[in-house]
Chains A and B, each alone.
Chain A
Amino acid sequence: MVHADNYPCLGALLRDALIQYKSETALIEVNRKNETKRLSYLHTRQEGFRVASHLASLGVEAGTHVAILMTNQSRWPIGAYAAMYRGAVLVPIDYKLQPHEQSALLLHAQPQVLLVEYSQWARLKNETLPKGITLLISEAPENAELPNNATRWEALPVPQQEPTFIERTRDDIACLVYSSGTGGRPKGCMLTHDNYLYQLGRLVDLYPMGIGDRFFSVLPTNHAIDFMVGFIGPLCGGATIVHQRALRPEFLRWTMQEYKVTHMALVPLLLEAFERAIQQRLDELKPLKRKAFNGLSSLNYALTQKRPNHAISKRLLKPIHEAFGGSLKYLFCGGAFVDKNRAEFFYRIGIPVAIGYGLTEVCTVATVNDLHPFRADSVGAPLPGIEVNIINPNPEGIGEVTIRGRTVMKGYLNEPELTAESIRDGWLHTGDLGWIDASGHLHLVGRSKNMIVTAGGKNIYPEDIELSFEGTPVSDFSVFSSSYIWPDTPLEEEKLVAVVRFDPEKEALAWQDLLKRNKALPDFKRVAEVLPWPQEFPRTASLKVKRQVLASQLRDKAKRQTLRPLA
């Protein structure tokens, strides 16, 4: 096995993996129900060389920023490998962002090259891009007019000789990964090769992936979880990564069945959709069969309580397992709060959900449940070598979660003050509230910062949402996370609340305007409820709303019963 602990940088790790497992299948790409690509490790290496040679010809070398903006497909890992082979700093950009948001990140990161899929380029082309940037565009139609600074991926020649490999040290930056910040201020987390390799080493010890395993990559690969367990992890173990270009429920199910998927990473929103699909099947069962199913799932739970046993679960609950291909060993779930009952439901049917907790700033996860035994009530224990501490605990032991260890990022790009604020004496201050139980497992209970994380894993900062309501005819307006106002709000119920001081003469008009503006926002950014608040908002000398003071007043005096839905 190619083990992360033995390598100085991600490029070297991947370079050796592609040789070591040369005859195994590395990448499978499917579009709907048609397999469109199947690449062995050797073939992946050759494809990587085509891109790496091109990057070399563009002057990409150690430390050059190379951005990647693609949906989940085989060229994502190929492009990323090529950039790392040349010693570049990879800048993964979320394809789900709006074009102006992508442009802001690119202007901040200043990449020399952008690897981009044509459909994404078509969305981005009218936005401002960094000066001097060069594009490598994949899948452009033959008749498409491309700018002068672009090259077609398909036109890249097969190099006559191996491009020069550029090795990096553990302390060098491997990736610049953007975590959403407030006020549209990009937060580029500088993650080193050591951050990744150390984390990878610990994760594969807990959840090994090897030859014959097939990881189905459905989360965007720029997401920290998929980058680690859906790209680097499978390749260093000789496993296969499966990409589906049409990420829709029926094609997901078909792909899982057809390719006997063994591992997947999901955000809670997808896990919920999976549960819905299973429940639908169960609801269709006749009462007797349903009773039998309940009995078998209880038996499975009893037999696998101490540790998962895929063979037993599969035998007991064959029809359910076969609906997902019959080979599913683990689901990794993170990025947002995972409902305890949902995780237990999956465990009962023999599909363990590995729940972890992490932030982009700590690479992927800081804590993870090792499933020995399975516990849905906590987000797991710290990975070996990672310290998790609770500061300023209240009498119940609840305080801010801080993290120290080799997976904590180097800092935010060009933001020394923000970095110093977030990392103090090596401890990353997460802004999340939690407590640690006697067995060392972390429990999250809320946030000390004003933000929410949606079930889709997106961080939403209320301050950013306020910008969309500028000019609304009200006297005072501020948006909060419900759990910031009322810290006892369960994390699965946190939502955006607009606190509004209405002008009595314009109240009806204001409601209309609020509704209209709210509707124009993407669903995950919408304000859920309005809290009418008659008092003038406390403000600073420069007339900014004193959020903490207002939140504290609301906590003391506002009644939740006065909340009104904004829909």
Chain B
Amino acid sequence: MSDVLATLFDLSSTRFNKPREELTPESDLFQALAIDSFQAMELLTEIEEKFGIEVPDYEIQDIRTFQALAEVIQRRL
């Protein structure tokens, strides 16, 4: 598992109080974390702070899984 993905799981499980072991790269992040799009945006800001990057909203417009999100972040690092 990539470092980015591992960090994503850490952040998500802590923020939304979900067991980390239940999260997989292919998990739908909205469903796995039981969050709405507004909460997903909050998570994104936390991710940006953690990685020291900025991801424009439109880049995650079609993102559904942790894997896809990790790829977007990886491209910005």
Binding site for A on B (CB under 8 A): 28, 30-31, 36-39, 41-42, 44-45, 54, 56-59, 61-62, 64
Contacts and interface: CB of A to CB of B under 8 A. Distances in A.
A250 interface: yes
A249 B62 contact: no
B58 A269 contact: no
Contacts of A567: 31
Which of B37, B39, B56, B62: most chain A CB closer than 10 A? B37
Interface in A75-131: 96, 98, 119-120, 123
Interface in A225-256: 245-250
Contact of A71 (B58, B62, B64): B58
9 contacts: A71-B57, A96-B61, A247-B41, A247-B57, A248-B42, A249-B42, A269-B37, A519-B31, A523-B30
Nearest to A122: B58
Nearest to B29: A523
Contacts of B41: 247-249
A96 B58 CA distance: 10
Given A247-B41, A523-B36, A119 B30 contact: no
Contacts of A245: 56-57
Contacts of B30: 523
Given A248-B44, A250-B45, A270 B31 contact: no
Interface string A541-559: 0000000000000000000
Contact of A273 (B38, B45, B62): B38
Nearest to B38: A273
B38 A269 contact: yes
A270 B58 CA distance: 19
A32 B49 CA distance: 13
A433 to B, nearest CB: 27
A517 B18 CA distance: 23
Nearest to A118: B58
Nearest to A71: B58
B36 A269 contact: yes
Contacts of B36: 269, 273, 523
Nearest to A269: B36
B37 to A, nearest CB: 8
Nearest to B26: A519
A250 B39 CA distance: 11
Given A96-B61, A248-B42, 18 more contacts: A71-B57, A71-B58, A119-B58, A119-B59, A123-B61, A123-B62, A245-B57, A246-B56, A246-B57, A247-B57, A248-B44, A249-B41, A249-B45, A269-B36, A273-B36, A456-B37, A523-B37, A567-B31
Interface in A123-141: 123
Contacts of A522: 64
Contacts of A270: 38
Nearest to A119: B58
Which of A32, A96, A249, A523: most chain B CB closer than 10 A? A523
B27 to A, nearest CB: 9
B38 A249 contact: yes
A245 B41 CA distance: 13
Contacts of B39: 273
A567 B30 CA distance: 12
A506 B59 CA distance: 40
B23 to A, nearest CB: 14
Contacts of A96: 61
A249 B15 CA distance: 15
A420 to B, nearest CB: 38
A482 B57 CA distance: 33
A200 B41 CA distance: 33
Contacts of B57: 71, 245-248
Given A71-B57, A273-B38, A523-B36, A248 B31 contact: no
A273 B59 CA distance: 23
A71 B60 CA distance: 14
Nearest to B59: A119
A-B pairs, top 5 by smallest CB distance, nearest first, are A119-B58, A248-B41, A273-B38, A523-B30, A249-B42
Contacts of B54: 32
Nearest to B57: A246
